[in-house]
């Protein structure tokens, strides 16, 4: 077990979903836990719970899209606990709809959180972890980035979300390869969950006022995407607690890819075959054509 008592975990999106469950696991392992989240009330409640489990906790209100705030998080972590052994760049938001119907603010908000939030975490924590590895031959560090199966499948009507999650997969693979050039002590991992009840379908509640389009109503495609997302997420049978355990298991085994639903990889294989064979993208609804028929009907009707 590489993540153990006395070590430190930094977790963004720590007040709910995967982040809260990962905080619970870290506390049970005897780790120090730096809990970062944009929701102050939820963060306070969550940090109290993790403290009650016996962990030393540093709660930190954080908008991961803000570079200076992430830099401040890293400084506060090092000052309190030293270099972390786990950095879980997990905070994310959801948004759907036809890709050309996203407003500029939609793009800025989702890219800022889902993509740049991860980039900031990689940028500010990796050098500190490498320095810790250079100073201590026994140090082992893990950076886990939350992407999504959407980043591997690129399903329709999920627009900017797909774009950001595909970019996180690419960033994580590059991080893995780059780390391998310079160290054997710091490792990268990417989490690609499918539909898991986490509350991400309610992420609009945390959208800053400056990122909202005043007076602009959601389009039909966006309303349909929101309804489909809520149904899919809330009906998921794999729990956030199970996924968080998968994260720690992958770190213990030094396994890069972390999947919540391995059966979904059939679609990933089909997409890879489309690319290798230079054929047009396969209909994502080929195995359940009734869903595709209903979605097309809903989008095309007046």
Reduced to 3 states (helix: H, G, I; strand: E, B; else coil), residue 82 is: coil
* Locus of tokens 């997420």: 233
Q: What does the block give as tokens for 7?
A: 């070590």
Reduced to 3 states (helix: H, G, I; strand: E, B; else coil), residue 18 is: helix
- Please give the Cα distance from 276 to 298 (Å, whole number): 33
For residues 247 and 22, the answer to whether their CB atoms sit within 8 Å is yes
Q: Phi, psi (5° rounding) for residue 145?
A: -110, 130
| E strand or H helix that includes residue 36 | strand 32-37
Active-site amino acid positions: 161
Among the listed residues 28, 42, 26, the one whose alpha carbon sits nearest the alpha carbon of residue 85: 26
What are the helix and strand counts (H, E) for the chain? Answer: 11, 7
User: Would you state the torsion angle of the CA atoms of residues 283, 286, 292, 296, taken in this order, to the nearest 10 degrees?
Assistant: 40
Cα separation values, 263 from 168, 198, 266, 267, Å: 21, 20, 6, 9
- Please give the Cα distance from 172 to 185 (Å, whole number): 16
For residues 110 and 208, the answer to whether their CB atoms sit within 8 Å is no
For residues 196 and 260, the answer to whether their CB atoms sit within 8 Å is yes
82: left (phi over 0), alpha (psi -120 to 50) or beta: left
Among the listed residues 106, 64, 299, the one whose alpha carbon sits nearest the alpha carbon of residue 204: 106
């Amino acid at each position: 077990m590489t993540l153990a008592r006395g070590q430190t975990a930094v977790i963004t999106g720590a007040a709910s979903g995967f982040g809260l469950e990962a905080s619970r696991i870290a506390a049970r392992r005897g780790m120090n836990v730096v809990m970062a989240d944009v929701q102050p009330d939820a963060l306070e409640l969550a940090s109290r719970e993790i403290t009650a489990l016996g962990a030393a906790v540093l709660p930190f209100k954080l908008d991961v899209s803000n570079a200076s705030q992430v830099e401040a998080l890293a400084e506060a972590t090092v000052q309190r606990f030293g270099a972390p052994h786990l950095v879980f760049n997990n905070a994310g938001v959801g948004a759907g709809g036809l890709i050309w119907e996203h407003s500029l603010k939609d793009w800025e908000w989702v890219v800022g959180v889902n993509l740049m939030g991860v980039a900031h975490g990689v940028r500010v924590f990796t050098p500190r972890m490498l320095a810790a590895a250079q100073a201590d031959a026994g140090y082992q560090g893990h950076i886990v980035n939350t992407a999504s199966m959407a980043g591997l499948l690129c399903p329709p009507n999920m627009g900017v979300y797909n774009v950001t999650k595909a970019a996180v997969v690419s960033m994580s693979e590059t991080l893995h390869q780059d780390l391998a050039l310079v160290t054997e002590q710091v490792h990268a991992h990417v989490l690609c969950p499918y539909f898991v009840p986490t509350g991400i379908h309610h992420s609009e509640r945390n959208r800053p006022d400056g990122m909202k389009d005043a007076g602009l109503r959601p389009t039909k495609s966006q309303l349909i995407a929101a309804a489909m997302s809520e149904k899919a997420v809330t009906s998921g049978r794999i729990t956030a607690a199970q996924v968080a355990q998968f994260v720690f298991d992958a770190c213990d085994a030094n396994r890069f890819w972390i999947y919540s639903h391995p059966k979904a990889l059939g679609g990933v294989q089909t997409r890879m075959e489309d690319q290798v064979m230079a054929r047009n993208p396969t209909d994502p609804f080929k195995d359940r054509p009734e869903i595709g028929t209903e979605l097309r009907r809903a989008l095309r009707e007046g």
